[in-house]
Chain A
Amino acid sequence: MIYLPDGVQDFLPEEYKFKRKIEEKFREVFIKFGYQEIMPPTFEYSDNFSVLFDENNLYRFFDKKGNILALRPDVTTQIARIVSTKLKGSFPLKLCYVANVYRYDDPQVGKMREFTQAGIELIGTNYEESDAEVIAVAIEALKSIGIEDFKVDVGQVEFFKGVVEDLELQNEEINLLREFLQQKNQSGMEKFINDKGIRGKKAKFLNELPLLFGGEEVLKRAKELYDTPKLGETIDYLERVYRILKDFGMEEYISFDLGMVQNLNYYTGIIFRCFVKGIGYAICTGGRYDGLLGIFGEHIPATGFAISVERSMLALQKEKKDIIDKSWRVLIKYKENLRNNAYKKATLLRDEGKIVEMYSYEKAKHVDENSFDEIIDMGE
């Protein structure tokens, strides 16, 4: 077979160097913020994932005993399992990873079936400081690879829940409403309001919800509109997080979207997505998931995010940024009786961080000398 299946790809040297560089930069930022890298297995029992992921979206297979296994669709679920079973005790716990994940979605540009996520999880705290820190790490990570023109779009899932609570709707209707909101479908929203006979303030609530996105002013507008104590509290929380990010000097990157609802249903508080200008899709998603660890037996709050490495590569290509450091390449040509000296010389240069290739005179004839920055001739 010379073709690859849909959704996977080979990374050839140039491209892979680029990818590795991005992963290294992300890892470096995470570690400098105090996150420790871990690595769960590539596959485990399918049951661990099927609580949260559609089974049709998992790569599942049997082992010899007939157990159903699955390739991991994300790492967060695995970390929740690890923390609940092996790492409980000293909180806050700060973990990070760079790992391949597998989902049976239709492959698209920058969205393969095997893709690499770089992410962090901050476990055991639920203060606004922790939500702000996670967003700050995401911003620093994107900046570290040279992405400048981006927005972190912050929402709050409790907000939608609060709005819906007052309306006494059936589950089906809530799902319909969520769908309209997810699409920012104002016409659908209006029709829903009319059909349900919702009037007055509540109608205005819903009507404006799809448009409640933008800068800081959105929070002010939301406060005027939604003056119930519960909704007020969720907005206050966002404001406190924003103030921290402002102290970090990051306000230019932040926007808000109070109509944001997430696809993954484990989120419970602040959620966010990063968009780079010119790239049509979110390159990073994250948020608070206080309920996830509970599934594995420990009720511990947590928050985190994952950046798509492939989409970051795409973003850098669009911004035409080259982040690979050019390393100095040396060719040593040597006469065979001087091989010992040549190798010593090569080791010396490699210790200086240079790339060194050695060829005896005879073999060096076939080497493309132009591809080297420096040629050392050890003839006599």
Chain B
Amino acid sequence: MENISIALPKGRMADSAITLFEKAGIAENILKDISRKLVVNDHKNLMKFMLVKPMDVPTYVEHGAADLGISGKDILLEQKKDCYEVLDLKFGFCKMVVAGPKEAKDSFLTNKRVATKFPNIAEEFFRQKGENVEIIKLNGSVELAPIVGLSEVIVDIVETGNTLRENGLIVIEEIFPSSARLIVNKASLKTKSQRIKEIIVKLKEVVETFKEVKND
């Protein structure tokens, strides 16, 4: 049998993902290793895990550098990469929102300025509303933008809303809910179909039992 490689997003989501894989019985003892290394092999289960920047996961999977990947729906919608999105893994819940200061300041600008890490999502959202905006791409600390007058509003991902509140911002509009997804390279699904199918089925079982436990 051949190795299956999985791209995990660096950060909190990686831990949840690894827990999920271990619960599903597809991998063992990788949690402690992965914090130190970029690539961890589970020789027993023939799995290879690699840790990459969350924004890069879909790229690795699209090109087949990884067979599978775990990525937030927000990133998938932003990048529109060509891969299968097979499962909603029901963790890493958050929301893509438009947020701004509690009291909108008067502005003489016709085009609202929108600061965001997700320029494509923001553009698409405002275009569908028929609103002309100016998108300002940032790479982090987006909440700062309205405070220092770089933009009127932001489009960003929100989990608890604490960061927004602390910076005196409120949610103006919700764009879509997001959660972690299992994505698969299109060629891998067909050339390694037996193994990948197995993994999907096992993960699906675990996700569903989790869900039931939570609902009880």
Enumerate A199-214 residues with CB–CB distance to B below 8 Å.
210-211, 213-214
Kindly state the separation between the CA atoms of A275 and B192 in the bound complex, as whole angstroms.
Answer: 11
- From B64, B189, B194, A279 is in contact (CB under 8 Å) with B64
The count of chain A contact residues (Cβ–Cβ below 8 Å) is: 26
B172 within 8 A of A: no
Of A64-72, A182-190, A334-342, the one touching chain B: A182-190
Chain A, 267-297, contact with B by CB distance < 8 Å: what is the 0/1 string? 0000000011111111000000000000000
**Which residue of chain B has its CB nearest to the CB of A214?**
B193
Assembled-state Cα–Cα distance A210/B182 (Å): 14
B185 touches A (CB below 8 Å):
yes
Interface residue stretch chosen among B22-30, B80-88, B100-108, B163-171: B80-88
Residue of A with least CB distance to B89: A187
Q: Mark A239-271, 1 if CB is under 8 A from B, else 0.
A: 000000000000000010100000000000000
B70 to chain A, nearest CB (A): 14
Q: Which residue of chain B lies nearest to A152 when distances are taken between CB atoms in the complex?
A: B190
**In the complex, what distance in Å separates the CA atom of A276 from the CA atom of B192?**
11
Kindly identify which residue among B82, B185, B190, B192 contacts A257, using a CB–CB cutoff of 8 Å. B190
A369, CB-defined interface residue at 8 Å: no
Q: Is there a chain B Cβ closer than 8 Å to A151's Cβ?
A: yes
Closest to B67 in A: A280
Contact B190 A184 (CB under 8 A): no
Residue pair A185, B186 in contact (C-beta under 8 Å): no
Does B156 lie at the interface of the complex (its beta carbon under 8 Å from any beta carbon of A)? no
- The answer to whether the Cβ of B127 comes within 8 Å of any Cβ in the partner chain is no
Q: Please, how many angstroms separate the alpha-carbon atoms of A210 and B184 in the complex?
A: 13
A12 at the interface (CB under 8 A from B): no
> Is B82 a contact partner of A187 (Cβ separation < 8 A)?
no
Given known A280-B62, A280-B186, A280-B187, contact A255–B193 (CB-CB < 8 A) = yes
A373 an interface residue at 8 Å Cβ cutoff? no
Minimal Cβ-Cβ distance residue in A for B207: A187
B37-72: CB near A (< 8 Å → 1, else 0) gives 000000000000000000000000111110000000
Chain A 166-187 interface residues, beta-carbon cutoff 8 Å to B = 183-187
Which chain B residues (161-204) contact chain A, with CB distance < 8 Å? Answer: 181, 184-194, 197, 200, 204
B-chain residues with CB within 8 Å of residue A185 when the two chains form the complex: 84-87
With A214-B197, A279-B64 already in contact, the answer to whether A183 and B85 are too (CB < 8 A) is yes
Q: Does any Cβ of B come within 8 Å of A236's Cβ?
A: no
Asked if A377 CB lies within 8 Å of chain B CBs, one says: no
A282 to B83, CA, bound (A): 11
Measured between beta carbons, the chain B residues less than 8 angstroms from A186 are 86-87, 200, 204
Q: A328 vs B43: C-alpha distance in the bound complex, in angstroms?
A: 47
Q: CA of A343 to CA of B207 in the docked complex: distance in angstroms? A: 78
Chain A residue at minimum C-beta to C-beta distance from B183: A183
CA of A153 to CA of B181, assembled, Å: 24
In the bound assembly, the distance between CA atoms of A332 and B86 in angstroms comes to: 64
Q: Judging by beta carbons under 8 Å apart, are A280 and B63 in contact?
A: yes
- The answer to whether A282 touches B186, judged by C-beta atoms less than 8 angstroms apart, is yes
**Contact present for A211 and B197 (CB under 8 Å):** yes
Cα separation A70 to B89 with both chains bound (whole Å): 44
- Contact partner of B185 (CB less than 8 A), chosen from A108, A183, A255, A280, is A280
Complex CA distance for A229 and B189, rounded to whole angstroms = 30
In angstroms, Cα B190 to Cα A150, docked, is 9
Considering the chains assembled together, what is the distance between the CA atoms of A358 and B189 in angstroms? 55
A151 touches B191 (CB 8 A): yes
Task: Tell me, yes or no, whether A233 is within 8 Å of chain B by CB.
Answer: no
Are the C-beta atoms of B187 and A276 separated by less than 8 Å? yes
Q: Could you tell me the distance in whole angstroms from the C-beta of A264 to the nearest C-beta in chain B? A: 14
- Contact check, B191 vs A277: say whether CB atoms are below 8 A apart: yes
**Are B184 and A213 in contact, with the CB atoms below 8 A?**
no
Closest CB in chain B relative to A318 CB, distance in Å: 10
List the A residue with the shortest CB-CB distance to B185.
A280
A183 to chain B, nearest CB (A): 4
- How far is it, in angstroms, between the C-alpha of A149 and the C-alpha of B87 when the chains are bound? 28
Q: Of A109, A151, A276, which contacts B63 at CB under 8 A?
A: A109
Contacts of A188 in B (CB 8 A): 85, 88
Contacts of A184 in B (CB 8 A): 84-86, 184, 189
Residues of A within 8 A of B197 (CB): 211, 214
Chain B residues within an 8 Å CB radius of A151: 190-191
Taken together as a complex, chains A and B put the C-alpha atoms of A222 and B65 apart, in Å, by: 32
Q: With the chains together, A322 CA to B186 CA distance in Å?
A: 26
Complex Cα spacing A149 to B191, Å: 9
Q: In the complex, A289→B193 CA distance in Å? A: 28
Min distance, Cβ A149 to any Cβ of chain B, angstroms: 7
Nearest to A257 among chain B residues (CB) is B190
Assess the A275–B87 pair: CB atoms within 8 A.
no
Closest CB-CB distance, B21 to chain A, in whole Å? 17
Cα A110 to Cα B197 in complex, Å, equals: 27
CA distance in complex: A12, B82 (Å): 30
User: What is the bound-complex CA distance between A64 and B194, given in angstroms?
Assistant: 57
Give A contacts to B, CB under 8 Å: 108-109, 149-151, 153, 183-188, 210-211, 213-214, 255, 257, 275-282
List 15 A–B pairs whose Cβ atoms lie within 8 Å, in order of A's numbering.
Answer: A108-B63, A151-B190, A183-B84, A183-B85, A183-B86, A184-B84, A184-B184, A186-B200, A187-B87, A187-B181, A188-B88, A210-B86, A213-B189, A214-B197, A281-B63
Top 6 A-B pairs ranked by shortest CB distance?
A280-B64, A187-B88, A275-B187, A184-B84, A183-B85, A277-B191
